[in-house]
Amino acid sequence: MRRVALSALLVVAATSVAATEDPKPVFKPTEIKAPFLEQFTDDWSDRWTPSEATKKTPVGGETFSYVGKWEVEEPITPVIEGKKGLVAKTKAAHHAISAPFEKTIDFGDKPLVVQYEVQYQKGGNCGGGYLKLLEDGFQTAGKEFSDKTPWTIMFGPDLTCPGTKIHFIFRHKNPVTGEFEEKHLKQPPRPSIEKLTNLYTLVLHPNNTYDVLFNGESHNLGNLLEDFAPSVNPPKEDAPYEIPDEEAVKPEGWLDDEPEFIPDPDAEKPEEWDDEEDGDWIAPTIRNPKCDEAPGCGEWKRPFKPNPAYKGKWYAPLIDNPAYKGEWAPRKIPNPEFFQDLTPVKSLKPIGGVGIELWTMTEDILFDNIYIGHSVEDAKKLADETFHVKRPLEEAANKVANKVDEEEGEEEVSFKDDPVAFIRGRVFKFVDAAKVDPITAFKTQPETGAGLALAVVTFFGMIGALFGLVGGQQAPVTKSTKKTDAPTPDDKQKTETAPVAPAGGEKADTPVKKRK
């Protein structure tokens, strides 16, 4: 009886799961148009090219490839049917991939809007998730795209071990020297980043103002002329302690192309080293012996000498000074590299493509719904179609998973003490989880889900067997006992083998004739 009740309970639970399962929303490509909009549909590989370039270390010239793999696939816990994203698959590896724009985007009279989603599916552990907007002319680098490829803006999250921040960096050209300098946001947003999808938005206006948004909410609103370091415009006057010695001459025999340190040629990779787990092995460096034989190595720069214009900090004598006017500062000299750029946004180099180039200790970082254009309204519409549909579903699934983890930690009846109560509790937990998200329920409680499925199959198998048994117990076909006028061979046989006693009640020996 107990087994029958338990089977009935499992069937009811399975029926409840099937009845309460809500269909997932189905992915449909957006109809919004933009200079660049990527949702990683089936033709994504026509636009994106993984890098095959090598990357040099700061010392020694040791090289290692961008070995990180890229895949376009569904999330680990999908909440939208048919939706895929670009996933950085490899742990402890360099990844690089890029895509060109159809047309160059400049920084003229329209705002620049950059928006995309990132999901650290397995949590954050030292992993970048930022985009690089590539300088026009370098977007077709493709397989040669690397950390050396010029870019104009870098934007997005970075898990810095420990800590989290949203980068906003732009490269500004000094009109006097012609050199580029990176300008970093002084106080970048530092939101909490979990395993769910997050939305990152940058709006850059031609009037030098900007806005950094996280999940649709503004976190930094400011001006490029005030909030970045080093500042866009250098000080007009300066008094450095030292200046380059213009009379110095590079020594004869200086080895410009030789690095000061080189990999130790005698070093060998340890036998227990695992490239997949420990990363690429890099030999320790030693001083380049060629540098010891020459005046020096590497790029030669003029040595510094004391600045004759530098006067240091002066202190007034310790007497009452009736003419004292405050602390004296040394006279400043004109800054030879001074310039003034009051419209740095319009001075930025046009962009021709987007790239993702990062090092990460975290695998399965998913990128999706990349918008690069000029319309703040269109970016918001895209977020409403995608992020604001996806995020609540992920939160609900995550809530169920957390609840299951909490309940599994609570004390429950053991199977040995009360098997029925133990199984009933597991089933009810599974049903509650399945009402919110059946897939998550099966992933978090695979044993219970498999047991329910087996119970359903067994139940319907028993019903099928029962109907087969009833169908097999039909009434047998009987022959009619009514005599016919014509005798049959059987009638003759019965007459011969079953003699009848005479009327007087006495038995008479009546011999049975045998057939010849």
Reported as a single tens digit per residue, the pLDDT across 135-157 is: 998 877 688 999 999 999 999 99
pLDDT bucket at 455, cuts 50 / 70 / 90: confident
DSSP for 362-427, please give it: ---EEEEEEEEES-HHHHHHHHHHTHHHHHHHHHHHHHHHHHHHHHHHS----TTT-HHHHHHHHH
**pLDDT for the residue numbered 20:** 46
Contact 220, 277 (CB under 8 A): no
428 pLDDT more than 80: no
For 255, which DSSP code? B
Work out whether the CA dihedral 88, 89, 91, 95 comes out positive or negative. negative
pLDDT bucket at 377, cuts 50 / 70 / 90: very high
More confident residue, 512 or 285: 285
**pLDDT for the residue numbered 413:** 59
**pLDDT for the residue numbered 19:** 41
363 pLDDT more than 50: yes
**pLDDT for the residue numbered 332:** 80
Strands (E), 46-150: 49-50, 54-56, 63-65, 70-73, 85-88, 93-105, 112-120, 131-135
483 pLDDT more than 50: no
pLDDT digits (tens, 9 = 90+) for 92-131: 889 999 999 999 999 989 999 999 999 999 987 788 999 9
How far apart are the two ends of the chain, measured CA to CA in Å? 66
Q: Which two tokens stand for residue 298?
A: 């590497």
Distances (CA, A) of 431 to 62, 111, 395, 454: 56, 50, 19, 15
507 pLDDT more than 60: no
pLDDT-wise least confident of 184-193, 273-282, 299-308, 438-447: 438-447
DSSP for 341-372, please give it: -S-HHHHSPPEEEEEEEEEES---EEEEEEEE
More confident residue, 335 or 162: 335
Tell me the average pLDDT across 424-449.
Answer: 70
**pLDDT for the residue numbered 21:** 52
DSSP for 277-324, please give it: HH-S--PPEEE-HHHHHSS-BSS--PPEEE-TT--------SS--TT-
Can you name the residues that pair with 365 across neighbouring β-strands? 88, 120
212 pLDDT more than 90: yes
Contact 383, 116 (CB under 8 A): no
Q: Which two tokens stand for residue 100?
A: 């060109």
378 alpha-carbon distance from chain centroid: 24
Q: Is 482 left (phi over 0), alpha (psi -120 to 50) or beta?
A: beta
More confident residue, 273 or 3: 273
501 pLDDT more than 80: no
For 252, residues 6+ apart whose C-beta sits below 8 A from its C-beta are: 295
**pLDDT for the residue numbered 217:** 96
76 alpha-carbon distance from chain centroid: 9
More confident residue, 163 or 42: 42
12 pLDDT more than 50: no
**pLDDT for the residue numbered 204:** 98
pLDDT-wise least confident of 162-171, 447-456, 490-499: 490-499
Can you name the residues that pair with 133 across neighbouring β-strands? 153, 354
